[in-house]
Amino acid sequence: MNRRHLIAAAGVAMLASLTAPAFADSLDTIKANKKIRVAIDLGSPPFGMNDSAMQPTGSDVETAKALAADLGYALEIVQVTSPNRVPFLLTGKADMVMASFSINEERKKVIDFSDPYGVIQVVVAAPKNVAITDLKDVVGKRLGTTRGSTNDKEATAQAQGAEMVRYDDDATLITALISGQVNIMASSPQVMAAVNARRPNDPYEVKLVLKTNPYAAGFRKGDDALRKVVNDWIQANLANGKLSKIYETYNGVPLPAEMPK
């Protein structure tokens, strides 16, 4: 195990040692304050970003707004990055996380998840003139990704022999891809679309699909009352089409007819 993996393992162990009993039941606190604090990554378009007026927008932002409005609470957006989503939740800086938060077994050891409300693929993408047909083609090449994300984890595991170049958020990764600091990405089709919108003459294309992940809201362990309220809301709004409409508006495609678990 190399030094980076040792540090990552130590980080997971540290997070696992943090527990929720220091906090009151989140739903009771939300009801008392008439406000729900949702952690969202605003450097992760199209899920979270700032518009031309520097106001938060994106599919996670609009989903959180709809949730808060339907439950009758004010929404406070707590801005996070991919690496600090779990720490902000566990240390009580937010009541829940909605930040293209892919469900995986490692995170389940530390936090609980809602039912999925969206999906995200992990892809390897590059311009047309970069020949990639399988993972052997990225050995020795630089792959840009977002530090601490599921994309990072999946690409690191599968694209062994590649040089992973990690950026602190999707916005910085997008800038690096547009400017040519790296020309192969291990991220999502949504990030690729954001890149292509700013370099239409030499767009990226998907070369390989590494994994398709459902994503969900994250909660502290034991926050079952809040999780049930959010799950009921998710199921109702998947059924009535509201969540699919929000997703399609920002991602360009509808949600699957049946959400993966």
For the four alpha carbons of 101, 102, 103 and 109, in that order, the dihedral sign comes to: negative
**pLDDT value, residue 22:** 54
109-122 confidence digits (pLDDT tens): 999 999 999 998 89
pLDDT in tens, 200-231: 999 999 999 998 889 999 999 999 999 999 99
H/E stretch holding 171: helix 170-179
Question: Which residues, including other chains, have CB under 8 Å from residue 126's CB and lie 6 or more apart?
Answer: 132, 183, 184, 185, 204, 205, 207
Nearest-CA neighbor of 89 among 222, 233, 213?
222
pTM (2 d.p.): 0.73
Between residues 250 and 24, which one has the greater pLDDT?
Answer: 250
**pLDDT, mean of residues 251-257:** 82
Task: Report pLDDT for 23.
Answer: 63
First to last CA, the chain: 31
Task: With beta carbons less than 8 A apart as the criterion, state whether 95 and 36 touch.
Answer: yes
The C-alpha angle 217, 103, 15, rounded to 5 degrees, equals 85
Give the mean pLDDT of 64-68.
98
What's the pLDDT tens digit per position in 16-57?
444 444 566 899 999 999 999 999 999 888 899 999 999 999
What is the distance between the alpha carbons of residues 84 and 216, in angstroms, rounded to a whole number? 16
Rounded mean pLDDT, 2-13: 43
79 conformational bin, left if phi > 0, alpha if psi -120 to 50, beta if neither: beta
